Amino acid sequence: MNAMEFFQQSAGRWKSSRVTHHLAFKRSETGESEILVETLAADDPEIIELCQMHNIDPTLSIGGSRVRWLGTMAWDREGEENHEGKTVFAIVPDADNARQGKLLRERGYAEIMPVVGRFHLDEEDGLVLTTDYETMSSIERFWFSGTNMRMRTSTVKRFGGFSTASYCVESRIDAEIEGVSVETVSATPQLASVLGW
């Protein structure tokens, strides 16, 4: 498997349940979200634009994904918290190894800013993403435990120590984006708004 094949397997609409451990406070917080993942080809205008934003030759990318999400966390204050957004990923594998390379992001995981991280597929075909930001760094690992079940762990480290560690269980609701209709998300108008429907 290469990274593009992993992203293709991730296409669809997912329901995600998360536990985030706030290590400084020694407390845990639960949350949930809906995630929509669309596969983008190497010649997609968004992939080309993202490569150009990061001053990387677009012909080096093998494609990527567009991801949109809407979520809630247990500690949210009504009307003051916002866990929605979208981002685009572009995969640029190393010339000598398609299982590792650069991952370009329009928006980072730990900071809302364009960023370039590193990816590699480990010996169990888990996708590991390592990203360094200006004030922190993050490590994420994604893996499948079945066709429609994906797991994700992440740690965020800042100011010399770990600040959060998260574990997510994600179940696929729809395998194909074309199967997601306005009626599918009509029960959640906020999600429909985020997805542009």
Tokens of 37: 């993942």
| pLDDT reported for residue 86 | 86
For the beta carbon of residue 102, count every other beta carbon within 10 angstroms.
18
Q: How many domains is the chain built from?
A: 1
What range does the domain containing 34 cover? 3-194
Tell me if 60 sits within 8 A of 116, measured CB to CB.
no
SS3 89: strand
Cα separation of 106 and 183, whole Å? Answer: 29
**Angle ∠(32,166,83) on CA atoms, nearest 5:** 40
Query: Residues 164-183: pLDDT tens digits?
Result: 899 999 999 987 554 443 33
More confident residue, 117 or 85: 117
| pLDDT reported for residue 109 | 54
pLDDT at 72 over 60: yes
Instruction: Name the pTM for this structure.
Output: 0.80
CATH number at residue 58: 2.40.128.20
